[in-house]
Structure 1
Amino acid sequence: MIKTAIALYVRNEASDIAGWLAYHFAIGINTIFVFDDQSNDGTYEIIKSAANVFDVRYFRTDRDTITDHDVRHRKSLEYACTLAKGEFDWIGFLDADEYFYYEDETIEEFFSRLHNFEGIAINWCIYGSSGRVVKPRMPTVDAFRYRSKENFSENVLVKSFIRPDKFGDHYHGPHRFFGVADDKYADPNGEIIRWDASTNKNVSWKNARIMHFVCRSMEHYVERIKRRLGVDLSDSMAYWDLFNRNDEFDFCAERFLKSTYKNIALIQESAIKSNFINKLSNSDRGAKHALEKIHLSMKTDNKKDIYFNIRSKRIVFADETYNEADFLLKLDFFIVKGFPDFLHISFYDKNSQLDYFPLTLEGDRRQSFVLTYKIDYDKNSRFFSMRDPNSNTYIKSDNCLHQSEGLLKTGQRFKDHQCNFILFGDQNIVKESEGVRYLSYIDFLNTIRKSAEGIDVNDCIALANMMDEKDKATLETNFPGIFKAEL
């Protein structure tokens, strides 16, 4: 068995680090050595959560003692190679905006073809912004699907996998390692590299590439400029203009996407369970009580049932005679007792939650185990409507002509009959008071403590979703990297 590892040096990538780790374990990497450069946005907490379910070996750099960024980077990679010797056949060196992709059936087949070499230099494949301004909630490989052409000038740069003992003393960066003999350094096609400094101008993506998401969204880019202003970047659009290449659509990573999402689900579950629920549970040895919930069934105004479509990964409605019902999953609708202003939607069972994560609704940026919506009750009829808590727009059932199912989506500014839904179940949930009752931050913590014995991740997310913006911000600040993607 060929064992492979990756060394990652990272700082402040909370929005994308779970997806990065999830993807590389999905493609078959055995172990990831992560060197966190003192992140303060929740990145480190997510890394620790991932280590509960995958072989992530994490470390923190010493920015006070080693003030030069490049020195910290070199020492981190060198240490990773030291740890990898004798255990791993190959170790690769990537940044958090770089993703390794191969065309072979398995990662073992890729490295088996190149067993006679000691270093593999893989060319960049630059991806653009795909027109996105705001950070997407989905993983990078799913969100940004447009790339440069193969002959784009910056694709000549490479990243390497090497035998761990070939790191060498002559270090110039993570691209080319001079400890590897020239006749033992190949490209993914098995051709000896003809180096031009640390570049390979004979660019080929035939068997592998390093998907390099330099720009990502404009929001990513602004944060990157702020973080590296005066170090190696300036307050300018020049970097964006150079790398924002959206010449061709390329969704090569699709074959790994299902496993990537499942791994993200495992990481997010670990983050909430191990770093939040268990900590609060251990802080109070008193009697525990189960969270009181009212489970309901929900239909459209014309009594169509609501499901999750595993093909489109969207919430849809359909009648019982739909002949492709195997693609439709049952959903769980519930209200937390005492808080009738919020309806929560989640997967019905644990296996579906992990196999088909994330739960998504068209137009809603959240990707989560649970989606929470505000309820508007119509006391003069049996109907109710739902509003997106972020945009305050209505959810509507959008009929699709000549199809057996329709789509639920958010973004409806004014309520009409398509925004009407029916709840079947406990009729005592109808709200009598005026104004939305939110769960305070203190009450949220106390509820978790009191219910921790019987509470699960879905319940925890549902409770967090019922807080107002101020209390949500407090939760994100006090528990970084745990709840932000779910709220």
Structure 2
Amino acid sequence: MHDIAGWIAWHSALGVEKFYIYDDYSTDGTYQVIKSISDKVNIEYYRSNIEKEGNFYYRQRDSFFDAAEKAKNHYEWIAFLDGDEYLSLSSAPSIVEFLDGFDQNCSAIALSWRIFGSSSRVLKDNVPIYRAFKHHSREDFGDNALVKSIVRPEKLVLSYENPHKFIINSGIYVDALGQEVAWNGATKKVTWEGACVNHYICRSMEHYIGRIKRRIGVDLSNTTNYWNHFDRNEIFFSEREDICNKADKILFSEKKSIINSYISKCKKERNDVLFKQIKYSQPSDEDGADIYKIFSNDGEGLYVNNIDGHLVKVPSDYPVFGIIYRKNRDVVYLVRIVDGYISDIKYHIISENRKNFAYSYNIEHEGEEYIYLRSPETQKLMCFIPKESGNSVDVNRETKSLWERAKIAEIEIGASFHSDPSVVKDFDSAWNWLSASDSFVTYNDFVLMFSGLPSQEKEKLNLHAQGVFSWLL
């Protein structure tokens, strides 16, 4: 589910103007996510007809041709991609500007695959695909000779050979550099310059196992042969940061739409008479939350050492902030904030049995200046290890000393909070909180609420939402 939202965000960041998405009867909330974000992104979404056509490859063919017919006379180009394939531009500011470089005689463009490995990741997490996997195969890896195509819809002949190379009625088939393709079946000489298709065919081991379960007996078998063949990690590569940052912002916007759609669903379920009788109060200065930097006794701030790593006292690109609601100043939430939104990428704190993207701690004061943070799970104190002992952070102390002492300093970073989520303990109280809170449950309030639910209650809420919150589990 999280992957389709990231896929849409990535291609939106590249400048794709329209999506035709065909869901092949997913059961993980993917279809519901697409529906939820279709009011923010120009998407037409459909479900393939598995009863009419039992063969996956023919369903893929029918989806491609249906999209091409719909795009005809509306869009100049259409790209045929799967959900694990991401267009990659070497330097063009957008896909539109890349395509503008091809003259009218170019009817189709063959973009080489660039096969990515697992980057040694075992489990799925909430790091977007375009940031999570940074190792790919060498250019001479045989499967990179396969392509995916961008075609002018009017030039497409509705006669299918394979999902890589299409038949055109006139003009020429070119590569990313505008050179006419010399075909060898559905393959050609590998060209990554200009543009290519990043094929995240393995992703994590957990992704791979899911793929085997879905397609066993179709084109995959119960072995690691497929994994061993494609898990190629010879070359380190990071996608363009300008595109990644733009995609991150779009992805947060999509998630906000998903949350808002679910809140609307909860309100509609509430009894109409009761709903109309509720008088919502306007936000006041007592509502909301304040944001703080937290410092150890030796003056060091808190950071995560890599995108999904451990809480430490060593400066990095991933600072951690404390969120304290004004109506509940005895609890602080430790989170990362990106462009005003709480990041849902989970990180680790040593000695905590929970892995989360938001950790709540009870605040214990020492005079006006110092605080201590106590885990509500273990009742242990957070300890800030000095530099000479590693600059790590642990939650394993019974008694208070200088190493457990902290300070906080309020900062302004433009994140929106309103409703204290600590009142929510289970699915029923979550539903009541959401349906009675009108528009004053913000994205950040919601994700903090969700992060604090017991696992079983998270599953109940996700089930009630038809799986759209699997990215928060």
Determine the C-alpha separation between the residues in 2 that align with 1:173 and 1:395: 57
Determine the C-alpha separation between the residues in 2 that align with 1:29 and 1:45: 21
C-alpha deviations, 1:307-355, integer Å up to 9, x for none?
889x98998879xxx9x9xx99995612485796x5335688xx9316x
Determine the C-alpha separation between the residues in 2 that align with 1:159 and 1:398: 51
TM-score by length of 2: 0.81
Q: Match for 2:75 among 65, 80, 88?
A: 88
Determine the C-alpha separation between the residues in 1 that align with 2:216 and 2:453: 36
Determine the C-alpha separation between the residues in 2 that align with 1:99 and 1:454: 36
TM-score by length of 1: 0.79
C-alpha deviations, 1:164-207, integer Å up to 9, x for none?
123313202220101355x600111111111111111x111111
CA 1:81–1:193: 2 relative to 1, 3 Å:
same
Q: Match for 2:451 among 465, 468, 472?
A: 465
Q: Match for 1:333 among 323, 344, 347?
A: 323
Q: Match for 1:384 among 372, 376, 379?
A: 372
Deviation at residue 84 of structure 1 after TM alignment: 0.5
> Counterpart amino acid of 1:37?
D
> Counterpart amino acid of 1:34?
I
Please identify, of 66-75 and 136-145, the stretch whose mean Cα deviation from structure 2 is larger: 66-75
Determine the C-alpha separation between the residues in 2 that align with 1:360 and 1:485: 9
* Aligned partner of residue 176 in structure 2, secondary structure: coil
* Aligned partner of residue 22 in structure 2, secondary structure: strand
Q: Does 1:358 align with 2:343?
A: yes
Q: Does 1:288 align with 2:280?
A: yes
Q: Does 1:300 align with 2:290?
A: no
Deviation at residue 219 of structure 1 after TM alignment: 0.5
* Aligned partner of residue 124 in structure 1, secondary structure: strand
Determine the C-alpha separation between the residues in 1 that align with 2:295 and 2:45: 48
Partner residue in 1 for 2:165: 176
Q: 2:361·2:376 contact (CA, 8 Å) conserved in 1?
A: no
**What is the RMSD computed on CA atoms of the aligned residues?**
3.9
Please list every run of 5 or more consecutive structure 2 residues that lacks an aligned counterpart in the other structure.
Answer: 350-355, 411-421
Aligned-residue identity in percent = 27
Please identify, of 256-265 and 299-308, the stretch whose mean Cα deviation from structure 2 is larger: 299-308
Q: Match for 1:117 among 96, 100, 106?
A: 106
Determine the C-alpha separation between the residues in 2 that align with 1:399 and 1:164: 63
Matches within 5 A, 1:400-415: none
Matches within 5 A, 1:389-428: 397=384, 418-422=403-407
* Aligned partner of residue 211 in structure 1, secondary structure: strand
Deviation at residue 51 of structure 1 after TM alignment: 1.3
Partner residue in 2 for 1:208: 195
CA 1:388–1:23: 2 relative to 1, 3 Å:
farther
Determine the C-alpha separation between the residues in 1 that align with 2:380 and 2:233: 32
> Counterpart amino acid of 1:467?
L
CA 1:329–1:223: 2 relative to 1, 3 Å:
closer
Determine the C-alpha separation between the residues in 2 that align with 1:470 and 1:345: 23
Q: Match for 2:223 among 216, 221, 236?
A: 236
CA 1:156–1:398: 2 relative to 1, 3 Å:
farther
Q: Match for 1:254 among 200, 216, 241?
A: 241
Q: Does 1:223 align with 2:210?
A: yes
Partner residue in 2 for 1:5: none
> Counterpart amino acid of 1:446?
N
Q: 2:107·2:151 contact (CA, 8 Å) conserved in 1?
A: yes
**Residue correspondences, number:** 440
> Counterpart amino acid of 2:343?
P
> Counterpart amino acid of 1:118?
S
Please list every run of 5 or more consecutive structure 1 residues that lacks an aligned counterpart in the other structure.
Answer: 1-13, 365-369, 426-435
